[in-house]
Amino acid sequence: HHVAAFIVLFALSLPVHGQERDRNKIPDKYKWNLADIYPTEDVWKKAKSLLVAELPKVDQFKGKLTSSAKELLSCLDFNTRLTKEYVRLYVYASMLSDQDTRDAGHLALTQEMRQLGADFGAKTAFIEPEILKADRKKIDSFLKEEKKLGVYRQYLDDLFRRDAHTGTEAEEKIVNIKDVTGMGA
């Protein structure tokens, strides 16, 4: 038993060849370049602040989504723009943290983004239930009236297809928070 334990300890103490632990020693051609997403962490922080400032503006659409094709388009465009920016922010923070999982500061950025995602989901949880309150024919007429809504046709078709599985605004807030925090199904 002592010989087996010694062999295991000896094997564990050997240096691992082929996997460099110090990122600075890895050639750049084998590393991702986060500057392609945001040039610096400071630029990332400014972009995050802008997103946080923009998020409350989604309230301007509440209760008005199906009042006109233009209003629906404005809301979907706004939500899409914020969603794209959120994803960029999250990917940057996550990849920055993955570069060195020992860096607690970078891990904190990822956790901040998870919280922001939960806030974002809660803030926009009214959108799908509100669209679904409208008659499908009304949304179809909006699609005919406003050609720019065409980019959302598949989303709207899918939304009505899964209507039976979409909850109320309060239920959607819970689902969105669970999805972002990883506590969902």
Average per-residue pLDDT in the chain? 81
Backbone angles phi, psi at 124, to 5 degrees: -105, 10
How many whole angstroms separate alpha carbon 40 and alpha carbon 58?
28
Confidence class for position 30, pLDDT limits 50, 70, 90: low
User: Residue range 54-63: average pLDDT?
Assistant: 97
The lowest-confidence range among 63-72, 108-117, 127-136, 163-172 is 163-172
Q: Mean pLDDT across the stretch 28-56?
A: 87
3-state DSSP helix/strand/coil percent for the chain, to nearest 5?
75, 0, 25
Contact present, 41 and 110 (Cβ < 8 Å): no
- Report, as an integer, the average pLDDT of 138-149: 97
Q: How far apart (Å, rounded) are the C-alpha atoms in residues 103 and 78?
A: 34
How far is residue 61's CA from residue 177's CA, in Å, rounded to a whole number? 21
